[in-house]
Amino acid sequence: MSLMSGERTFRLGVLGSGKGSNFVAIADACSAGTVPAEVAVVLSDVENALILERARERGLSARFIPPGKFRTKLDETAEAAYIAALREARVDLVVLAGFMRILKGEFLRTFAQRVVNIHPALLPSFPGLEAWKQALDYGVKVTGVTVHFVDQGIDTGPILAQQTVPVLAGDTPATLHARIQEAERALYPAAIAALARGDVKVQGRQTVWETPSSKLQAPNTR
Ligand code: GAR
């Protein structure tokens, strides 16, 4: 699969529910030209989420779209509204950046193999919520970050890139999450850059990176 969009700039639709540190890393990398893409729209299910403020500060289109009646997913009306907003913005890739709702059926059919997520652990370990806390509680010495395509499962789609992060003596959930987020801010832009360039192909569960020496290396092979 190639996600290249010809001569037109590759367009990102970013969905987030929180602080937006991943969004900032991606938007700034787009502005700096290290990610050959532009953020076309930012959407949030949380009206006062910092991610919306950070997008507006950068002059980007940012909208709160109410999620509807469920706690962990979008209801049918909300799902249709998210799809419409992303279509209107003509996005090539949907980037989940701390979006805390599960996306399903119609959304994933509309953007088949065009939705990516960042997860704060080395999948398939510790899927779901507060993965850094799960890792700490389990007692692992190494955890990390995973960028993956989103499929119908929870954190189960084909893996694009992974980066290890050590768990250090004395770590608290907050210190470990901060170290993980630092890794996220490097890994996510690198993975999106590769997708924007059409450098990644999906073959079943495998993602295959083409890494000519002139181009960025797959983060998990550095
Ligand atoms: C990130 O650490 C991301 O990995 C996590 O939410 C945080 C969002 O931070 N996502 C998940 O846990 C998804 N299951 P941000 O709003 O500062 O980018």
CA 197 to centroid of ligand 1, rounded, Å:
25
Global confidence as pTM? 0.93
Nearest-atom number in ligand 1 for the CA of 181 is: 2
Task: Tell me which of 118, 154, 179 to substitute to probe ligand 1's pocket, judged by most ligand atoms within 8 Å of the beta carbon.
Answer: 118
DSSP class of 103:
-
Q: What is the pLDDT of residues 33-86, one digit of tens each?
A: 999 999 999 999 999 999 999 999 999 999 999 999 999 999 999 999 999 999
pLDDT higher than 70, residue 145: yes
Q: How confident is the model at residue 8 (pLDDT cuts 50, 70, 90)?
A: confident
Other C-beta atoms closer than 10 Å to the C-beta of 208 total 11
What is the β-pairing status of strands 142-149 and 115-119?
A: antiparallel
C-alpha span between 189 and 34 (Å, rounded): 8
* Residues that are catalytic: 119
Q: Mean pLDDT over residues 134-161, rounded?
A: 97
Decide if pLDDT at 165 tops 80: yes
* Whole-Å CA distances, 199 to 4, 7, 135, 157, 173: 9, 16, 31, 18, 35
Joined tokens for residue 173: 């959930």
The residues near 220 (Cβ < 8 Å, ≥ 6 apart) are: 161, 162, 163
Residue 23 CA: nearest ligand 1 atom is 18
pLDDT band, residue 210 (cuts 50/70/90): confident
What span, in angstroms and rounded, lies between the C-alpha atoms of 52 and 8?
25
pLDDT at 32 over 90: yes
Collapsing DSSP to helix, strand or coil, 144 comes out as strand
Q: What integer is the mean pLDDT of 151-166? A: 97
Whether a cis peptide bond, with omega within 30° of 0, leads into 66 is no
Question: Atom 7, ligand 1: which residue's CA is nearest?
Answer: 98
Ligand 1 centroid to Cα of residue 18, in Å, is 8
Is the confidence at residue 211, as pLDDT, over 90? Answer: no
